[in-house]
């Protein structure tokens, strides 16, 4: 829950305004209304956190309402998954509701609309009606059935309900305005015939209400005070209100629809239709594939409820469309797991390390902290021996001083164990390293308190003792799409951007025996590698870990830079350019606040600009002549710099004259003064 001092998002502001206008706090009631036709995703989490967050903040009930008006798409499986996900996120709904609970009431109201002359049964084809609807720029024409008698409409609607007609032959429409600039007001559909069993009402009905006719009324029936949905429903608001005008009792609470922007995440897609396509095309293994942005996918991947709630809060609620960087999501999960994950060791890409001076056949149990971030989190034992696995990339035969890992002749610390020194390597006939031989400082055991154990060495490696190693499968995931916004291209289908290497399975990784007892939902940090969690497919004799997210890796970031430095021959020249650029930039920076300065500070600023202007070319200064009129400070800075250049011998031209003239005409006195000064000199 938020602190009182934090700012309100615009939805919270609306609630605050309603409260300030006299709405009793007890009347506040919210709802989260998923359609059970797919799994919840991280975008829904925004809505869930918003609605349930509002409920927590104002101590108001929040209903979970399944918007189940279309039996051809909806299934019980989805209802169950949605409930599981919301509970997992840590939210409690007040009442579990279904739009289908209101079918009878909705039907009765429809009959009333017909009696009031505000609805009619149309028998035209979908195509004919679409044509009559017109376009956003031209009005529609009225249906030939629009003015049928009430009796005929009542009879037809009754027979629709009785199952006398086939799907597509008859529908019930509201009679509103075929010329409305809002397409949704052009006699929208209220009921259609669907001869399919409904997951809750079975075969009781063969006519089903449309979303627009259902949603507002459901809100009304549940006394929802604020009905929050996404932006694409903005134009539905007029219809939402029209229906309430027809049926609502003014003595009852009238729900209010408000809209916010959907959340998009970079490098993924968010629509249920597209996620379904990924599932159906077997691009992913299912709705809960750890690469999916679904709540269940993220959970299986190792995300925690806290991290997702934190992410939702950090992303905010607005009305503008945007793409949130996955880096923020990853930050949220790292932050949580850093604090809470148990530290262990595992080697993903093993190479054998032999300690030549360690007593042959000896084994000892060493002590490892469970979590250095939590005081009192305890320790566990790690077996050590003379033959270990270490990570292949942690060894180089010879390396520069920036490589803090193992190489011949160099010392590193084995985490929780000894300091070792690289001595030699054994290679196969192809030249691949098969064994690394090293010696070990037997006095340097971690925690032994000896002087040697306190020695500082540059690097620390993780390891696993070969005789004790437990084999495990590791699944590493990369972004599912190679494009930042895969569904934003008009000319390309999002499926074209699927990353072919989004899943990397390591069959033979080795982990410390402590992990033999890992349970589902346990969170681990494989030290120096990342965060891992047991996958649901794992068994006692076949451990499978999902990599949730890697640790931040500033070493990996350095690598490309090192390569770059080598290839960058004209580095000096580039440096010079940068300096030149920074002179003009520096002038701009000082100028920005120029008009806020006075006295000594002003004089200093002016002197600095003049000084910097010595190193500026006319070509750099000229574009700034177009600086917007209101950016007076920048124009003053440019004027001063121009004075310096002219003094140095720059020839006046028409551009310069125009800029000075404009300065003389300006209403800012400082600017006028600078312009005059140039003319005097």
Partner RNA sequence: UGCCCGAUGGUGUAAUUGGCAACACGUCUGUUUUUGGUACAGAAGAGUCUAGGUUCGAGACCUAGUCGGGCAACCA
Just list the catalytic residues. Answer: 35, 262, 272
With CB under 7 A, what is the number of residues at the site for RNA? 108
Name the E strands within 539-604: 543-550
- Interface pick for RNA out of 322, 398, 611, 665 (rule CB under 7 A): 322
CB-wise, 558 or 604, nearer to RNA? 558
Q: Min. distance of Cβ 153 from RNA in angstroms?
A: 16
Burial class (CB in 10 A: 0-12, 13-18, 19+), 466: middle
Q: Min. distance of Cβ 315 from RNA in angstroms?
A: 4
314 near RNA, rule: CB under 7 A: yes
Cα–Cα distance for residue pair 51/63, rounded to 1 Å: 9
Q: Min. distance of Cβ 256 from RNA in angstroms?
A: 16
59 near RNA, rule: CB under 7 A: no
Tokens of 571: 């580095």
> By the 8 A CB rule, do 586 and 611 touch?
no
Q: Min. distance of Cβ 529 from RNA in angstroms?
A: 7
Site string for RNA, 640-669 (x = CB under 7 A): ------------------------------
Q: Min. distance of Cβ 600 from RNA in angstroms?
A: 16
CB-wise, 398 or 426, nearer to RNA? 398
Q: Return the residues of window 292-311 that contact RNA according to CB under 7 A.
A: none
Q: Return the residues of window 177-236 that contact RNA according to CB under 7 A.
A: 181-184, 189, 192-194, 208, 210-212, 215, 231-236
Q: Return the residues of window 582-611 that contact RNA according to CB under 7 A.
A: 585, 588-589, 591-596
- Interface pick for RNA out of 447, 508, 576, 658 (rule CB under 7 A): 447
- Interface pick for RNA out of 459, 468, 625, 645 (rule CB under 7 A): 459
Q: Min. distance of Cβ 680 from RNA in angstroms?
A: 25
- Dihedral sign (CA 533, 538, 542, 546): negative
Q: Classify 483 as helix, strand or coil.
A: coil
Q: Return the residues of window 477-516 that contact RNA according to CB under 7 A.
A: none
Mention every residue, 6+ apart, whose C-beta is less than 8 A from residue 171: 121, 122, 189, 190, 191, 192, 193
Q: Return the residues of window 84-103 that contact RNA according to CB under 7 A.
A: none
Q: Return the residues of window 101-120 that contact RNA according to CB under 7 A.
A: none
Cα–Cα separations (whole angstroms), residue 606 to 493, 637, 644, 673: 56, 8, 11, 13
- DSSP assignment of 173-210 equals EE---TT-SSGGGSS-EEEEE--S-BTTTBTS-SEEE-
Q: Min. distance of Cβ 669 from RNA in angstroms?
A: 13
Cα–Cα distance for residue pair 42/293, rounded to 1 Å: 6
CB-wise, 200 or 413, nearer to RNA? 413
Mention every residue, 6+ apart, whose C-beta is less than 8 A from residue 331: none
Number of other residues whose CB lies within 10 A of the CB of residue 473: 17
CB-wise, 26 or 357, nearer to RNA? 357
CB-wise, 132 or 289, nearer to RNA? 132
Q: Min. distance of Cβ 591 from RNA in angstroms?
A: 5
Cα–Cα separations (whole angstroms), residue 135 to 235, 237, 239, 537: 15, 19, 18, 53
Mention every residue, 6+ apart, whose C-beta is less than 8 A from residue 502: 291, 477, 478, 479, 480
- Interface pick for RNA out of 57, 415, 437, 468 (rule CB under 7 A): 415
- Interface pick for RNA out of 261, 285, 425, 506 (rule CB under 7 A): 261
Tokens of 102: 């209101």
Cα–Cα distance for residue pair 68/35, rounded to 1 Å: 6
Cα–Cα distance for residue pair 502/514, rounded to 1 Å: 29
CB-wise, 27 or 450, nearer to RNA? 450
Mention every residue, 6+ apart, whose C-beta is less than 8 A from residue 298: 42, 290, 292, 308
Cα–Cα separations (whole angstroms), residue 309 to 49, 550, 659, 667: 7, 20, 54, 52
CB-wise, 20 or 651, nearer to RNA? 20
Q: Return the residues of window 527-566 that contact RNA according to CB under 7 A.
A: 527-528, 551-555, 557-558
CB-wise, 72 or 252, nearer to RNA? 72
Q: Return the residues of window 17-46 that contact RNA according to CB under 7 A.
A: 33, 35
């Amino acid at each position: 829950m938020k602190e009182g001092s934090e700012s309100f998002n615009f939805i919270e502001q609306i609630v605050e305004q309603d409260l300030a206008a006299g709405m009793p706090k007890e009347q506040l009631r919210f709802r989260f209304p998923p359609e059970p036709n797919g799994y919840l995703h991280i975008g829904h989490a925004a809505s869930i956190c918003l609605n349930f967050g509002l409920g927590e903040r104002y101590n108001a009930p929040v209903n979970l309402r399944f918007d189940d008006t279309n039996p051809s798409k909806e299934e019980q499986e989805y209802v169950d998954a949605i409930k599981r996900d919301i509970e997992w996120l840590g939210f409690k709904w007040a009442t579990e509701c279904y739009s289908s609970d209101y079918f009878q009431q909705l039907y009765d109201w429809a009959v009333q609309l017909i009696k009031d002359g505000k609805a009619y049964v149309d028998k035209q084809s979908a195509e004919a009606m679409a044509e009559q609807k017109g376009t956003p720029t031209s009005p529609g024409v009225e249906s030939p059935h629009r003015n049928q008698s009430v009796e005929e409409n009542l009879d037809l609607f009754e027979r629709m309900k009785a199952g006398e007609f086939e799907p597509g032959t008859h529908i019930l429409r509201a009679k509103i305005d075929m010329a409305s600039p809002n397409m949704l007001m052009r006699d929208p559909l209220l009921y259609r015939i669907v001869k399919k069993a409904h997951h809750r009402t079975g075969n009781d009905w063969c006519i089903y209400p449309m979303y627009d006719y259902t949603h507002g009324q459901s809100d009304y029936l549940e006394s929802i005070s604020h009905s929050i949905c996404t932006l694409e429903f903005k134009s539905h608001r007029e219809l939402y209100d029209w229906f309430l005008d027809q049926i609502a009792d003014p003595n009852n609470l009238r729900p209010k629809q408000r809209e916010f922007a959907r959340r998009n995440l970079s490098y993924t897609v968010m629509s249920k239709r597209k996620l379904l396509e990924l599932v159906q095309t077997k691009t992913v293994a299912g709705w809960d594939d750890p690469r999916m942005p679904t709540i269940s996918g993220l959970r299986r991947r190792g995300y925690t409820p806290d991290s997702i709630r934190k992410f939702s809060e950090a992303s905010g609620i607005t009305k503008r469309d945007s793409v949130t960087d996955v880096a923020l999501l990853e930050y949220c999960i790292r932050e949580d797991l850093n604090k809470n994950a148990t530290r262990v060791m595992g080697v993903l890409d093993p190479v054998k390390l032999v300690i030549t001076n360690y007593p042959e056949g000896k084994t000892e149990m060493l002590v490892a902290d469970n979590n250095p971030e939590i005081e009192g989190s305890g320790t566990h034992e790690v077996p050590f021996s003379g033959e270990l696995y270490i990570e292949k990339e942690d060894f180089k035969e010879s390396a520069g001083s920036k490589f803090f890992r193992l190489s011949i002749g160099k010392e590193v610390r084995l985490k929780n164990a000894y300091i070792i020194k690289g001595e030699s390597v054994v290679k196969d006939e192809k030249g691949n390293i098969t064994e690394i031989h090293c010696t070990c400082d037997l006095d340097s055991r971690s925690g032994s308190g000896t002087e040697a154990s306190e020695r500082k060495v540059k690097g620390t490696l993780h390891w696993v003792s070969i005789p004790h190693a437990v084999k495990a499968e590791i699944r590493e995931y990369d972004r599912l799409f190679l494009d930042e916004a895969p569904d934003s291209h008009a000319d390309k289908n999002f499926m074209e951007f699927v990353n072919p290497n989004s899943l990397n399975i390591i069959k033979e990784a080795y982990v410390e025996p402590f992990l033999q007892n890992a349970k589902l939902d346990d969170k681990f940090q494989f030290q120096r590698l990342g965060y891992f969690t047991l996958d649901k497919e794992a068994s006692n004799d076949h451990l499978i870990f999902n990599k949730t997210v890697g640790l931040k890796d500033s070493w990996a970031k350095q690598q490309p830079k090192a390569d770059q430095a080598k290839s960058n021959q004209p580095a000096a020249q580039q440096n010079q350019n940068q300096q030149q650029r920074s002179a003009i930039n520096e002038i701009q920076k000082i100028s920005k606040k120029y008009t806020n300065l006075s006295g000594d500070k002003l004089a200093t600023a002016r002197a600095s600009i003049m000084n910097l202007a010595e190193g500026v070319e006319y070509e750099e200064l000229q574009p700034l002549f177009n600086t917007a009129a209101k950016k007076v400070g920048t124009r003053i800075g440019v004027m001063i710099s121009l004075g310096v250049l002219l003094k140095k011998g720059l020839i006046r031209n028409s551009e310069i004259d125009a800029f000075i003239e404009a300065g003389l005409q300006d209403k800012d006195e400082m600017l006028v003064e600078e312009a005059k000064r140039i003319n005097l000199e």
